[in-house]
Structures are given as structure tokens and as C-alpha cells.
Chain A
Amino acid sequence: MMNVQTRLVEVRANILKENDQLARALRERFQQAGVSVVSFVSSPGSGKTAFLEKLMSRLGVTHRIAALVGDLATENDAVRLSRACSQVKQITTGTVCHLDAKMIAAAIEDWKLDELDLLLIENVGNLVCPSSYDLGEAMRVVLLSATEGEDKPLKYPTIFNTADVALITKMDLAAAVEFDLEAARRSINAVRPGMRVIEVSSKTGQGMDEVIALLESTLKPRQLISI
């Protein structure tokens, strides 16, 4: 109950405003340096690292790329990705379930951004926490594997709603697990109407050309000319 001295003061401020401000500053920095930043989010085991390995080994031929990899523990993913690209940094978050703008800023502190075309960020495998944290990326890609439930987008609407593109991974296993592609597309469309969905397979290479074309479309024209 309010007593006489109590007063109500209006705040109306985003709880994550510090992260949002830092992310905005990062986004400006990335734009000025002419580097396109794309982040990847998914649940653990959806095939993010395998997909990025394949993607980077192809993109690395024509573009100057780098990657940041978030995990609670171990540097295994960075080791895997460094086979495809020389500039890879692991961000070990410990008990924190997501990457935030501060971690990104710290990780790229000594990097020369203007020497890069594309920076890929692999977030911690988690469909909940990363959704709230803006990393300053130009595009957020969410991955859903054919071996997960088709209704996962309905169960984790926030992450799908904040993404720009969805990839359905492990399409080579779709038939074996009786994956219902149309149901998955319907789920995605329900929580993020109109979002582009690309079916991919790291094993067969399905969809890889389309993803590469999409990422190249985020690059600045000047970078495209230099290829």
C-alpha cells in the first residue's frame, strides 16, 4: 500500500537498453567498415556448425570472411570452423545462455573490420535467450532441422519472429524421419508471416547456392565489384 511519502515515477525504458545502444553503435561501425554481419541461431544440434563449415569453405574462396562462435563451454566449434576460415574466434559464455552486444564488441576489439566483407556469428545453441539480444547484425538467420518437430516455431515464436530468414537443415534426413515440410512452413508462417524459408543440407549441398546468393545480396556493391 502506498504511504504518504511514496511516489510513482514513470521510467518507460527498455530493460535491455544498454545492450540495444551498444548494438546500434556496433551496427553503425559495421556499416562504416563495409562489413556485412549475419548471425545464426537455433537449438543445440540443429546442424549450425556443420552448415557454417560448408558455407564458409565456399564463401572463403571469393570473400574475406570471419566468424565468431558462441558456446557455453569448449572451443570445439571454433576449431571446426577454423578449418574453413582463418579468422575465427570462440566466445565462451560460461553460464550465460546467449551472446550479447558487449561480448561481440570485446571479441572484435583488435580486428580490422574494413579488411572484411562478411562476418558470421554463430550464437549459443538456444531458441529462447538469443531472441532478446540485438548483436548489431544486418540479418538474423534461424535454423530448424528436419529432425526437430515441425511445430517448433509455434513453441518458440519469439526467436522465429525476430529472424529475417529461416533455414530448414538436414533435408537429406527428411524422408527418413517423415518430416512434414509443409507443416513446418505453415508453423514458420504463423509466427513470422512471409519470412523466406530455404531448405538446405550440409551433406548434399542442397540450398547452398541460394544461401550464398542471399548472403552476397547483403554485401555492399563495391565489394561485389571487387570479387
Chain B
Amino acid sequence: MWPLPVVLAEFMHELSIALSMIEQIAEEAGKHGGSKVDAVYVRIGVLSGVDTEALKFAFQIAAAGTPFADTRLEIEVVPLLVYCSQCASTHAPKGTEVLCPRCITPAQQILHGRELEVAALEIA
């Protein structure tokens, strides 16, 4: 077994995330007594390290052959929201750079943007 090409190796990441999602959907659907899950709503932060396009593709592969093969995947991308203690205010950087645009201070607290969560299920 040789190291995977970079593109494939990076896709494997989303595949492991998708497999964890399937487990979680099964667990939650069981808890709520649902027989069929129409949709799964996930929240993916821009700093979560997950590529949403790759996740969509990975989810199809992970769901195939499971009771969730027809489950719709709805992704909400969560942008960054950073709190700057120096300015005592929050700011929402456009990309993934977390420096405070006003004071360039290092003490930055990330409030949003790291999410990697199943938010809700639509159960029939």
C-alpha cells in the first residue's frame, strides 16, 4: 500500500467525517423513533478544515447501502466571528484570517467558524 495521492488523501478526510455523520444520524433517528430521515442539516465552519463540496460527495458514498442513501444533505457554512479583547468587540473576517483588523492584537477568541456539527434532522 503506497501513500495516496494528495487529492485523494484529503478527500479521505471528508469521507471519515461523512461516516461519523452516518453513525450519528442513525443514533439520533433511533432516539426519536423515526423510520426515515428525509434530510440532515449540518453546520460547517470555515475554519473546521472540512471542504463542503468534498463532504457532499463523501456523504453520497458513505450513505450508499445504508437507510440514509436518499437523505438530503443541507450544509450551512458558518463564517468566522472573532472577539477582540483589546477592542472589546467582535468582527467578522471575510476569509480565514483572524487578526483584528483594527488593532492587530494577538488575543483573539474564535466565537464561530470552527463548527462541525449535525444541527437537525428532518424525520418522517
The one of A16, A95, A194 in contact with B4, judged by C-beta atoms closer than 8 angstroms, is A95
Asked if B111 is at the interface of the complex by the 8 Å CB criterion, the answer is no
Asked if A97 is at the interface of the complex by the 8 Å CB criterion, the answer is yes
The one of A17, A44, A158, A190 in contact with B3, judged by C-beta atoms closer than 8 angstroms, is A44
Which A residues between 40 and 81 are near B, CB-CB below 8 angstroms?
44, 72-73
Asked if A185 is at the interface of the complex by the 8 Å CB criterion, the answer is no
In the complex, are the beta carbons of A8 and B4 less than 8 A apart? no
In the complex, are the beta carbons of B122 and A7 less than 8 A apart? yes
Interface size on B, residues (CB 8 A): 43
User: What 0/1 readout, one digit per residue, does chain A (1-12) give for beta carbons within 8 Å of chain B?
Assistant: 011011111111
Q: Which residues from B are CB-within-8-Å of A131?
A: 49
Please give the residue numbers on chain A whose beta carbons come within 8 Å of chain B beta carbons, in ascending order. 2-3, 5-19, 44, 72-73, 94-98, 126, 128-129, 131-132, 154, 157-159, 161, 189-194
User: What 0/1 readout, one digit per residue, does chain B (23-48) give for beta carbons within 8 Å of chain A?
Assistant: 11000100010100010001000011
CB within 8 Å for A8 and B97 given contacts A13-B24, A15-B24, A94-B1: no
Asked if B105 is at the interface of the complex by the 8 Å CB criterion, the answer is yes
Interface Cβ pair total, 8 Å cutoff: 128
CB within 8 Å for A189 and B10 given contacts A132-B50, A157-B97: no
CB within 8 Å for A11 and B124 given contacts A16-B116, A18-B20: no
CB within 8 Å for A7 and B123 given contacts A14-B117, A15-B116, A97-B13: yes
In the complex, are the beta carbons of A73 and B24 less than 8 A apart? no
In the complex, are the beta carbons of A6 and B49 less than 8 A apart? no
Q: How far is the CA of A12 from the CA of B41 in the complex (A)?
A: 9
CB within 8 Å for A15 and B98 given contacts A129-B49, A158-B47, A194-B107: no
